[in-house]
A and B are shown apart, each in its own frame.
Chain A
Amino acid sequence: MASSAVAPSYTPCINKKDVGLSAFSSQLSISVQNAKKRVSRKIVAVMTPQQSERSPATTGSVKTGMTMTEKIFARASEKPQLSPGENVWVNVDILMTHDVCGPGTFGIFKREFGQNAKVWDREKIVIIPDHYIFTADERANRNVDICRDFSNEQNIKYFYDIKDLGNFKANPDYKGVCHVALAQEGHCRPGEVLLGTDSHTCTAGAFGQFATGIGNTDAGFVLGTGKLLLKVPPTLRFVIDGEMPNYLLAKDLILQIIGEISVSGATYKAMEFVGPTVESLTMEERMTLCNMVVEAGGKNGLVPADSTTYKYLEDKTSVPYEAVYSDGQARFLSEYRFDVSKMEPLVAKPHSPDNRALARECKDVKIDRVYIGSCTGGKTEDFMAAAKVFLASGKKVKVPTFLVPATHKVWMDIYGLPVPESGGKTCSQIFEEAGCDTPTSPSCGACLGGPKDTYARLNEPQVCVSTTNRNFPGRMGHKEGQIYLASPYTAAASALTGFVTDPREFLQ
C-alpha cells in the first residue's frame, strides 16, 4: 500500500479550502467560553462559514502555526499558544455519558462534591441510555433508572430516556447509540471540546472538534467543574487522495490505516484526516473514519469542517460555534498519504483490528452469521450500502443476518427512505426479500456482547462478519468467537455467499 511517513509538509488541499472559505466574512467571533450564557431562543449561526483570514490562529497573538487540535485546546484553555505535551485545564463544551458508565460517574461526582452538589451546567450534559437496554438483566435495567433519577434530580436538559422496553417507539425521547445520537441531535459542533465516557466518543471528531473518551472518575470531575486536565497531543496527518471506487466505504479506509500503523500506532496522538477524498465523504462516512481512531490508539480523530459539515448542522443546532483549521505552518508528527483509487475492500481478521487482509484473500473463510450495526456501522448510510448489495444480487442471504440500527432515526430511515435505483423500495423491504432478520430495536446491541439475552450476541464460538469496531477475544460474547470486521458492503456480500466475500462480486 502506498503510504509513507514523511516529514511534515505543506498540503495544498488544506490551503485551498481555507482560501475558499475566507470569502465568508466572520460575523461570529464568539468564543467557546461565551457559550455558557447561551441564548438559545434564536438561530444566529446556523449558516456558519465564519472565517476571515486564516492567519496563524483564531486565538489572538500567535507566533507559530498550530494544528486543529492544538487550536481547539488553546481556545478551550484560554491560552494563546500551545504545543504538544503541555498539560492544560480545558473547558468542556459537552459531557456525554451512558447507562454503563453514568451510574459510576454520578457516584464519584456525589462522593467528591457532596450529596447535594449540582452539576456545572445542566445544558452541557447529555445522558444517553444505549448499551444494555433491551435485556431482562435487572442490574442493567437499574442502571438506566439511576440515569433517570440523576437526570431528574439535576434537571439535565438532554436525557434520552427509555421506559417501555417492549416497544422502543413508545418512548418519545429514546434515541439509541450515543455517538450517532449526539450527531443527529446537534451536540457535535466544530471547534468544541466533547468528552464522553466511551472510547468511541472520538466519532465526533468528524465535525472538526476535539472529542475523546474518558473514564468515570474524569467524567465525575467534569460534572462538577466543567474542566479537565488534558495533555495536548501531537498530530498525525493522513492525506487521502484519489476517487473513491464504488465498492469502497470509509470503513475500508480506516481499516487500511489501522492495518498500516497498528493498534497502538497513534497512541496519545491526534489523527487528522484531510485531502480530496475526505472532503468528498458524507458526514456519516467521516464519522466512521473518526470512530475507529481509538482502535489505532488515537486520542482523537479530526476532519476539518466544511460545507458538508455546515449543511448537516443546519437544522440541528442553534448554538454558535467556530470552526478551526490547521495552519499551513502547523507541525505534524508525521504525514501519511493514501491513494484510495488503488485500494481494495478489506477486513480485519480475528483477533485484532489491525489484522488487516484483503476481503478476497479470505474468500475461503466460512462464516456463521453477519452483523450490521453499532456506532461504526449501524448508521442510515451503512444500511443503504448493505441494501445496495442485496439489491444488486437479487439473491437471499445464506447465513443469519442481524440488523441493529444505531438510533430511532436510523430505524425510521430503514423503513422510510427509498433506496436509490430500487424502484422506490425501502431498506426494510430489500432486507426482507433477502431473508435478513427484521431490523431490531436501536442500541449498541451485540457489538460488545453485553448481557446474555442481548439480541444477536455471539453465544457460541461462531464466525461473524461484522460492521462493528473491535474483534478482540470475547468482544461480541463468546471468547472463541471469530469476528471479521468489514464494511457494510463486504458484510452484505458475505451474507449472500456464506463466506467472507469481496463486494465487487456483486457491485460490478
Chain B
Amino acid sequence: MAASLAHTHLSHAAFRSPRISPPLSPPYSLKLPTLHFPTFKPLSSSPVPPQPQHRTLTLRPPSAASDATATSTTTSFHGLCYVVGDNIDTDQIIPTKYLTLVPSKPDEYAKLGSYALIGLPVSYPTRFIDPGETKTKYSIVIAGDNFGCGSSREHAPVALRAAGAAAVVAESYARIFFRNSVATGEVYPLESEVRICEECRTGDVVTIELGESRLINHTTGKEYSLKPIGDARPVIEAGGIFAYARKTGMIPMIPS
C-alpha cells in the first residue's frame, strides 16, 4: 500500500501529542518548512484492523475533546495530489454497479475504496488507483467546481477515504457530497479561493495547513489560501454528526 499520508509511518501513541515536533522522515526528499504534526488517526497505521466505528471518526483529532483549539491549529495533510476538473459527479467517484457494497461492512468498505474514481473518463490517463492496487498513492484530491454532484450516495466520500485519500480541495462542492463528508468525517472537504485545479498537476506534492487555511504545492513552490470551513467546522471538529450530537448533548454517549 502506497498511501502517502505523511503520518502513516508514525506510531499510534505519537498522535496523542499534537504539539510535539516529530522526527519526520517523509517519503519524499523535501524541505518542509513547517510540517505540523497531523492529528488524524490514519486508517493504515492502526495497530488493530480498523472496525467500522473507527472509520467514521478517522478525522477526529484524538485530543479534540480536551483541547479542540490546539488540535485545530496543528492539523495538516501532506502527500501527493490527484487533480480532476469540474462537475465530477458521484457516478465517476464510485459507479453505480459498485453500490451493492455496503459501507458499514468492513470488507465491503475496503472494496469500495479499491474502486474510487474508477468512473473517470479515459481522458484521465493517470488513474487514481494504479492497476493492480487497491489503495491510492494520492492522499489529497484537488478538484474544480461542483465536486461530488449527482446522487446522495455516501459511498462517494467513503470510497475516497477507503482508498487512502484524506482530504479534498475543490473550488466548490455539491451540497450532499459536502454534507456526507462532514457527517461521516470520512474526508475533509476544503474549498480553495482560486481554481487550483488548473495550477496543480497530478503527482505534485502538497501540504494543507488547516490552521492557516493554506495549501502549499511543494512541486511548484506556490501557495494558496483556502476558504474558512464555516459553520460546518464544529461538526467536522467533533468528528461527524454523531460525535457532534453527543458532544452537544443531543444524544447520549455511545451505549456499551
Contacts and interface: CB of A to CB of B under 8 A. Distances in A.
Interface of A: 85, 87, 89, 100-101, 103-104, 106-108, 111-114, 117, 131-132, 137, 139-140, 142-143, 146, 196-199, 201, 213-218, 221, 224-225, 227, 229, 231, 263-264, 267-268, 294, 297, 299, 352, 448-452, 470, 472-475, 477, 479-480
B14 interface: no
Contact of A100 (B99, B174, B183): B99
Nearest to A86: B231
B96 A229 contact: no
B105 A217 contact: no
**Among all A-B residue pairs, the 4 with the closest Cβ atoms:** A107-B104, A215-B154, A213-B152, A215-B180
A459 B155 CA distance: 23
B255 to A, nearest CB: 4
A264 B149 contact: yes
Given A449-B97, A470-B89, A214 B184 contact: no
Interface residues of B, number: 50
Nearest to A89: B250
Given A214-B176, A225-B250, A297-B175, A472 B92 contact: yes
Contacts of A132: 99-100
B20 interface: no
A101 B153 contact: yes
B84 to A, nearest CB: 12
A214 B153 CA distance: 8
B254 A479 contact: no
Contacts of A140: 100
Nearest to A219: B154
30 contacts: A89-B250, A101-B153, A101-B154, A104-B102, A106-B104, A108-B104, A111-B53, A132-B100, A137-B100, A197-B152, A199-B151, A214-B152, A215-B179, A216-B154, A218-B183, A218-B241, A221-B245, A231-B231, A263-B146, A263-B149, A264-B149, A264-B172, A267-B146, A268-B175, A297-B146, A448-B96, A451-B97, A472-B91, A474-B91, A479-B122
A483 B49 CA distance: 42
Contact of B153 (A100, A267, A475): A100
Interface of B is mostly: loop
A199 B250 contact: no
A146 to B, nearest CB: 8
B211 interface: no
B100 A139 contact: yes
Contacts of B121: 473, 479-480
A264 B145 contact: yes
Nearest to A472: B89
A387 B92 CA distance: 34
B56 A217 contact: yes
Contacts of B99: 100, 131-132
A189 B29 CA distance: 61
Nearest to B255: A114
B104 A449 contact: no
Contacts of A264: 87, 145-146, 149, 172, 174
